[in-house]
Chain A
Amino acid sequence: MSKRVGIEVSIAIAEAVGLARAEVIPAYPITPQTHIVEHLSEMVANGEVDAEFVPVESEHAAMSCCCGSIAAGARTFTSSSSQGLSLMSEILYIPSTMRLPIVMVVANRAMSAPISIWNDHQDIMVQRDIGWIQTFAENGQEAVDLTLHAFRVAEDRNVSLPMIVNIDGFTLSHVIEPIELPDQEEVDKFLPPFKPRYKLDPRRPISMGPVGIPEVYTEAKVAHDKAMKKAKRYILKAWDEFEEIFGRKYNPVESYRTEDAEVLLVTMGSISETAMTAVDAMRDAGQKVGLLRIRLWRPFPGQEFRKAVGKAKVLAVIDRCLPPGALCGPVGAELRSLFYKIPGAPKIFSFVAGLGGRDVTVERFEEIVDKARAFAKKRPRELYEVIGVREK
């Protein structure tokens, strides 16, 4: 039987990776890091996990090593954060078009400058288009569950794409939460051994990573894009199987008190828990407010999102990322694109909040809803608004 324990979320993720029987873990624990790979290195050293822990010389090398081990057919895991994730950037595009199902947990953090080790989503938005499947966890339990789910989906031979589970740095990675860790038997039932469609094997030689001349590069990228879109059905299927075994149900888009809502907040990650508290407070005050939380970010679940919006008139989208010079944050842009010229589409207002570890409080969510209502009546001058920024 699985047991519920008080445990740091990073440690719990490491335990989940151990339960998933990861075989190779290349990692370079540069600051800012989490205890995920630190704990995994201890588990490997203690003989609790039968895996190779490869202490490499940089995050660039860590992801390169991941590409090698997954190509050889080993279940591969690594973890990173902010500047380290950016150092991996050159390599991140490679396993996705090559269909190599690495699993990575990213503890989302701000990008320097100024130097910051705190939480927002700017590091992963830099990597938005790397072609990995991406989910966002709200709490520790979900972080553990989505990590197991990631192995199941990525390695599914119908998918065969690398996958990132995003967890908020500090807010999730460094807090102790009550988490139900599944037992080995349940995980083995959910996650069969990794059997790749192709691997580097001297007995059946193939070449991976050849040149893509202009005559084939476009076709290679379109094949990748189609694979991402096709992956959605297997992502959903794996969540259904997860529910059957572990009893917890996951959707691409989570709805909270959206029935008859006029205004919907849209969030990703751990701030959604505060957003739910804010929704409760506003509902108590008689306001028709709800919350949509995007769990599946890539491939973007457009159909599910439109359905979840229902008849709501106003969306207040919160980005934890400020791309200077852009028209709005990446989530705001995605949703504006989704609803462009759709009859009866809600009005979409984009907000930026919670940068570099700044708390987004219940009061801030109330402020956002108030502003969205006001903007629906009188169009704002700017395409997005930064919440809680001081002018003097």
Chain B
Amino acid sequence: MANSDAIVGWKTITFGCHILEPGNAANFRTGDWRSQRPVVDKEKCIKCGMCWVFCPDMAYSQDEDGYFVVDLEYCKGCGICAHECPKDAITMVPEEG
């Protein structure tokens, strides 16, 4: 979230700290502080989309082959997808560094 766009002075901060641009959360890399990432095993995946349904950040989307892939710009690594996957196809792997 600590995107350089958010760094403003008291004279330039928006009135009342309002966000005047609707849906501007998309402009911020909210996945920056993730400590673990979901890795999908396509061998086990049945394309049911439970990860897509449960992801609180709507970070999953479907690719051309029908698999669900995560956008790591927004994935916070909460692990809900791995917990909900009925085929245990998702493993949470620690981020390095």
A213 contacts the other chain (CB 8 A): yes
A220 near B13 (CB under 8 angstroms)? yes
Q: A205-B22, A206-B22, A207-B22 are contacts. A216–B16 as well, Cβ < 8 Å?
A: no
A198 contacts the other chain (CB 8 A): yes
B20 near A215 (CB under 8 angstroms)? no
A226 near B10 (CB under 8 angstroms)? yes
Stretch at the interface among A97-105, A186-194, A357-365: A97-105
Query: In the docked arrangement, what's the CA distance between A26 and B53, Å?
Result: 38
Write the nearest CB–CB distance from B18 to chain A, whole angstroms.
5
B10 near A223 (CB under 8 angstroms)? yes
Which A residues contact B (CB, under 8 angstroms)? Answer: 97-100, 160, 197-198, 205-213, 215-216, 218-220, 222-223, 226
Stretch at the interface among B1-9, B67-75, B88-96: B1-9
- Which residues of chain B are within 8 angstroms of A213 by Cβ–Cβ distance? 1-2, 6
Partner pick for A99 among B2, B6, B10, B15, CB 8 A cutoff? B15
A210 near B19 (CB under 8 angstroms)? yes
The 8 closest A-B pairs by CB, nearest first: A99-B16, A207-B19, A222-B10, A205-B22, A219-B10, A98-B16, A223-B10, A219-B13
Name the residue of chain B whose CB is nearest to the CB of A212.
B17
**Helix, strand, loop or mixed for chain A's interface?**
loop
Write the nearest CB–CB distance from A156 to chain B, whole angstroms.
14
A216 near B18 (CB under 8 angstroms)? no
A210 near B15 (CB under 8 angstroms)? no
Partner pick for A219 among B2, B9, B22, CB 8 A cutoff? B9
- Which residues of chain A are within 8 angstroms of B10 by Cβ–Cβ distance? 218-220, 222-223, 226
Instruction: Give me 13 other A-B pairs in contact (C-beta within 8 A), A210-B19, A223-B13 excluded.
Output: A97-B16, A98-B16, A99-B15, A160-B15, A198-B16, A198-B20, A206-B18, A207-B22, A209-B17, A210-B17, A220-B10, A220-B17, A223-B11
B15 near A216 (CB under 8 angstroms)? no
